Structure 1
């Protein structure tokens, strides 16, 4: 999975505006969160796997995908 594939997934399957993601993380504007995460990834100088924003994005993607699948 690449950042671009995840971006396309979220274009086709936008998350809710507000997401209680984790007990210690509430996202109040998921589009702003995603946009900021993609900017951080694009500006990262180094291997993608060493970018904290990439790990956050993959985790968020996995959690949203599970939630989408459970609602079907």
Structure 2
């Protein structure tokens, strides 16, 4: 998937406002998190697969897809 595809997914399937995302991470504003992450990815120069923001976005996307499938 590309960042644009993930962005479209979240536009059509918005995540909950707050997410207990990992044992060590609670996101209290998922839209803010996504906005910030997309800005970081857009500003990244070089291979997207070496961008830490991209790693987080992919993980968050996968977890939100699983959460939606469980509903």
Asked if these proteins are the same fold (TM beyond 0.5), I'd say yes
TM-score tier (shorter): over 0.9
Matches within 5 A, 1:9-24: 9-24=9-24
Q: Which runs of 5+ in 1 are unaligned?
A: none
Distance 2:18 2:63 in 1: 14
Structure 1 length as normaliser, TM-score? 0.98
User: Counterpart of 1:57 in 2: which secondary structure?
Assistant: helix
RMSD of aligned alpha carbons: 0.3
Structure 2: give runs of 5+ residues left out of the alignment. Answer: none
Alignment deviations for residues 7-51 of structure 1 (CA, whole Å, 9 cap, x no partner): 000000000000000111000000000000000000001100000
Moved beyond 4 Å, runs of 4+ = none
- Number of residue pairs the alignment of both structures matches: 71
